[in-house]
């Protein structure tokens, strides 16, 4: 090897070169450590360089998070609170009651229309007198009740504030009108008797010409066992029962005044009251009812005054309860919408 000094220098130079290249390929810090160091430096850089701005943004973000959390907690507590269950019960109680009254109103409307069609009230020769037909009142009441109840039902089911407010206002008007009518009837008791007398005498005059008035008069006389307004001789105002009338019914009374209007217990005897006005009271009392219907109506009212007052109180109570439920439902809808708006604002 001593003979080849140049060759030894070449080997030494080659070994130093390989060692230098291996040192470059194997760095002192690994890539993973470099990445961790860069991440740490970036975090420390953000923490030191942007500390003034990031504190404000972090405060805002924490405020938004707290607002969202509080909103979620409010909605969660509201969904699980007893008041939400009561509002749910009130809502579907209002829906169910109004649905039942809607069906009742439609039935009343159908009955009124059936009565008008059955009596041929829409015929050309009868259309002029349809305004005084009692069946028209059934149609009107049924239509109003059905529309009003349907409005409350749909409004409660859809939680529509406009429909619920209209329904509540209509029910409030009805309650006020009913209270006013009750006060007027109570304060005008003496005049009511005169109004009833005038109405019944008018019905007796048109007894043979108006089928509706005949039906109502017969039902009153049969049900209350009475005849005429004040006495059975009131029927003389009718042209057919007047003693100067040429027909067979002269000086007679309708068969609904008879004590036993059925012949052999089965067939309606339309001639049972013929000539009753010619009899004295002692003889007539075995054939017809002598007392007038006004006294019988007043006695019936006095005997059933407790039931009448109870029925009026129940009807008004149901309507007032409906107003309370509607007001509670409207308040709940307003509260829910306000909380929903707050929640949407917190998300922006």
Q: 227: pLDDT confidence band, cut at 50, 70 and 90? A: very high
pLDDT at 262: 74
The whole-number average pLDDT for the span 210-238 is 89
Domain ranges of the chain: 182-311
> Lowest mean pLDDT: which of 95-109, 140-154, 160-174, 204-218?
204-218
Question: What pLDDT, on the 0 to 100 scale, is given for residue 106?
Answer: 93
Handedness of CA 8, 14, 16, 22 (dihedral sign): negative
Span 333-339, mean pLDDT? Answer: 85
Higher pLDDT, 196 or 42: 196
Structure tokens that stand for 273 in this block: 């009251």
pLDDT, tens digit, for every residue of 49-78? 344 444 444 444 454 555 454 444 444 444
pLDDT at position 246, please? 84
Confidence of residue 92 (pLDDT cuts 50, 70, 90): confident
Residue corresponding to tokens 């129940």: 314
Domain 182-311 fold is Cd81 Antigen, Extracellular Domain; Chain: A (1.10.1450)
Percentage of residues in the chain with pLDDT exceeding 90?
25
Residue 65, pLDDT score: 52
* % the chain with pLDDT above 70: 71
Q: Three-class SS string for the chain?
A: CCCCHHHHHHHHHHHHHHHHHHHHHCCCCCHHHHHHHHHHHHHHHHHHHCHHHHHHHHHHHHHHHHHHHHHHHHHHHHHHCHHHHHHHHHHHHHHHHHHHHHHHHHHHHHHHHHHHHHCCCCCCCCHHHHHHCHHHHHHHHHHHHHHHHHHHHHHHHHCCHHHHHHHHHHHHHHHHHHHHHHHHHHHCHHHHHHHHHHHHHHHHHCCCCCHHHHHHHHHHHHHHCCCCCCEHHHHHHCCCCCCCCCCCCCCCCCHHHECCCEECCCEECCCCCCCHHHCCHHHHCCCECCECHHHHHHHHHHHCHHHHHHHHHHHHHHHHHHHHHHHHHHHHHHHHHHHHHHHHHHHC
Confidence (pLDDT) at 263: 64
């Amino acid at each position: 090897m001593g003979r080849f000094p140049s060759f030894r220098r070449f080997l030494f130079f080659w070994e130093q070169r390989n060692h230098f290249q291996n040192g470059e390929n194997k760095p002192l810090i690994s890539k993973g450590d470099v990445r961790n160091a860069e991440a740490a430096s970036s975090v420390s850089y953000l923490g030191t360089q942007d500390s003034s701005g990031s504190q404000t943004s972090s405060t805002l973000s924490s405020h938004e998070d707290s607002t969202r959390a509080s909103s979620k907690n409010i909605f969660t507590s509201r969904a699980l609170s007893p008041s939400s269950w009561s509002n749910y019960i009130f809502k579907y109680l209002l829906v169910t009651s109004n649905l039942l009254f809607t069906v009742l109103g439609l039935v009343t409307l159908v009955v009124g229309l059936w009565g008008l069609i059955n009596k041929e009230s829409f015929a050309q020769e009868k259309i002029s007198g349809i305004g005084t037909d009692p069946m028209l009142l059934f149609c009107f009441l049924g239509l109003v009740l059905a529309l009003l109840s349907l409005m409350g039902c749909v409004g409660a089911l859809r939680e529509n504030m406009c429909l619920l407010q209209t329904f509540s206002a209509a029910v409030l008007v009805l309650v006020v009108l009913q209270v006013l009518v009750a006060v007027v009837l109570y304060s005008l008791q003496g005049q009511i008797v005169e109004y009833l007398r005038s109405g019944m005498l008018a019905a007796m005059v048109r007894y043979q010409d108006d089928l509706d008035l005949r039906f109502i008069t017969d039902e009153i006389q049969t049900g209350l066992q009475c005849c005429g307004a004040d006495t059975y001789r009131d029927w003389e105002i009718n042209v057919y029962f007047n003693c100067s009338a040429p027909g067979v019914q002269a000086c007679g009374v309708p068969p609904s005044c008879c004590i036993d209007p059925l012949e052999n217990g089965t067939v309606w005897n339309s001639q049972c009251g013929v000539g009753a006005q010619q009899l004295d009271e002692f003889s007539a009392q075995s054939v017809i009812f002598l007392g007038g219907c006004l006294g019988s109506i007043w006695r019936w009212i006095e005997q059933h005054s407790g039931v009448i007052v109870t029925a009026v109180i129940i009807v008004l109570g149901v309507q007032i309860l409906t107003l309370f439920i509607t007001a509670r439902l409207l308040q709940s809808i307003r509260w829910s919408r306000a909380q929903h708006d707050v929640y949407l604002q917190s998300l922006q």
